[in-house]
Amino acid sequence: MNHNFKDETGKRYSRLLVIKLMPDRNKYKRAVFECLCDCGATIYCEGGNLRSGNSKSCGCYNIDSIINRNTTHGMSKTREHHIWTGIIARCYNKKCKEYKYYGGRGIKMCKRWLNGFAFFFEDMGNCPENHSIDRKNNNSDYKPSNCRWTTQKEQCNNKRNNTVINYMGKKLTISQWSDEIGINSNTISSRIFRGDNPRSVIQKLSTLNINL
């Protein structure tokens, strides 16, 4: 350990508890410490940033501040506000169980919406009954041009792991083919799961339905 560094081990700075000095991370003669955030996340901070207050948390402090600033508009108990806070959690809170599918993949919320719920509501409006927010491109961020209100069924058709079957010039998911040919989606899925060619499955089942 370089004894020229001020040891912050065991000290608390806002939401951060300093665990230990990280000698292998010390650069430009600046002490770097491993810190445990109250939310459970581990981060590394320079001693100077801890003492100055520039480092207060893993980032959850800023998230909470954003949400707290936006609870005086009379809509904090609405479905729209709940959806907005949910997006922030899964994009920025590493403790959120869904973080790995969103923030963990680099998915973010646009700066306009992060600046306030009012901007989110202005762009998205009221959430229709039985709808929730969906991204048109699942590899892109939450932003006005990429978001819409959709039903659960529509969202299922937009999942990254969907099987898309090309037949008779149409590229549809299993759920969409189910609607198209009038055959239960479980029947289609089970035949594909057992090894049948997806295109042949649709061809056979569509013929079967016509002959009923």
Range of the domain at 94: 60-157
Instruction: Let me know whether 126 and 68 are in one domain.
Output: yes
Question: Counting beta carbons within 10 angstroms of the beta carbon of residue 183, is it exposed (0 to 12), middle (13 to 18) or buried (19 or more)?
Answer: buried
DSSP 176-196: HHHHHHT--HHHHHHHHHTT-
Cα angle for residues 196, 197, 200 (degrees, 5° grid)? 105
Residues 74 and 150 in one domain: yes
User: Is residue 20 within 8 Å of 61, Cβ to Cβ?
Assistant: no
Are residues 144 and 69 part of one domain?
yes
Strand partners, 36: 17, 42
Residue of higher predicted confidence among 20 and 65: 20
145 with 65, same domain? yes
**Structure-token pair, residue 184:** 């239960």
Question: pLDDT (tens digit, 9 = 90+) per residue, 31-56?
Answer: 899 888 877 778 888 888 898 888 88
Local confidence band at 93 (pLDDT 50, 70, 90 cut-offs): confident
Q: In terms of domains, do 46 and 73 share one?
A: no
Stretch 119-131: mean pLDDT: 89
With vertex at residue 133, the alpha carbon angle to CA 127 and CA 134, rounded to the nearest 5 degrees, is 145
Q: Domain count of the chain? A: 3
Please tell me whether residues 86 and 152 are part of one structural domain: yes
